[in-house]
Amino acid sequence: MKEYEVYSDAGGILVGTRDCRVHIPNAYGDGITKVCVFDSKEEFEPYRGTKSNLEFVTTVCGNRIEIPDYDCPSKEPWFDGTVHDWTPIVTLDGCYAIYAHDGEIDFERWGDAREV
């Protein structure tokens, strides 16, 4: 398992690319969202057994699925002059089931991305 942290102002994380993305709610709200990426079902199953409130959200498949470090990126400066652009913390390749619970989002790899 690999762990990452995303700052959430919209209560979740973004998944996709700069051009096309979807917001995944973290089942908690604003703050820090923990993101866990599991490379296989065998790695995920023991972990899943320890989480009673784990909720399936959706699946995602692709060759360059990015997760940025912030869920409200913008090229425009904020009130304090900082810019929070699209800055990926991880890029995934393959098909993943996505689960959410208590401020955490888990990605369980189901296999390789398939051409449409």
Residue 49 in any domain: the answer is: yes
Residue 53 in any domain: the answer is yes
C-alpha span between 14 and 114 (Å, rounded): 22
Enumerate the β-bridge partners of residue 59.
97
Contact call for residues 23 and 93 (beta carbons, < 8 A) = no
CA distances (Å), origin 113, targets 2, 63, 90, 105, 116: 20, 6, 17, 20, 9
The structure's pTM equals: 0.89
Work out the pLDDT band at 53, boundaries 50, 70, 90.
confident
62 domain residue, yes or no: yes
Look at residue 116 and tell me if it is in a domain.
no
Q: What is the pLDDT of residues 26-42, one digit of tens each?
A: 988 999 999 999 999 89
Domain membership flag for residue 99: yes
Domain that holds residue 50: 2-111
In a domain, 57, yes or no: yes
pLDDT at 116 over 60: no
13 within a domain of the structure (yes/no): yes
Judge whether 63 lies within some domain.
yes
- Indicate the number of domains in the chain: 1
